[in-house]
């Protein structure tokens, strides 16, 4: 009987030690994953910020191109001899 109770005590002690190690591992993993999650979050925010900046720059360039294109069309339209003749006819 004492042998089986001694073995049970040893097994119980080993299980308690394993349980303690698992709790410690859980805490370490939680901290590690939390740090990793925060780093990934920061990285993704930076990517989004840079992408938004690039998009804004491109939108401004397109707007400028559209403006220049409209100005060029107006210049060509106003310099056309037919348009000038029509303008003179209506004056």
Predicted pLDDT at 91: 56
Residues 40, 46: Cα–Cα separation, whole Å: 10
Which parts of 1-91 fold into alpha helices (H)? 2-79, 81-90
**Are 67 and 61 contacting, i.e. CB atoms less than 8 angstroms apart?**
no
Predicted pLDDT at 82: 58
Per-residue pLDDT of the chain (91 residues; tens, 9 = 90+): 578 889 999 999 999 999 999 999 999 999 999 999 999 999 999 999 999 999 999 999 888 888 777 766 666 556 666 555 655 556 5
State pTM to two decimals: 0.51
């Amino acid at each position: 009987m004492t042998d089986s109770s001694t073995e049970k005590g040893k097994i119980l002690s080993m299980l308690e030690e394993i349980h303690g190690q698992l709790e410690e591992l859980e805490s370490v993993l939680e901290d590690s994953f939390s740090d990793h999650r925060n780093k990934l979050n920061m990285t993704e925010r930076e990517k989004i910020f840079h992408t938004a900046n690039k998009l804004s720059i491109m939108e401004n360039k397109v707007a400028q191109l559209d403006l220049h294109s409209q100005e060029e069309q107006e210049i060509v339209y106003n310099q056309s001899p037919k348009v000038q003749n029509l303008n003179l006819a209506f004056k």
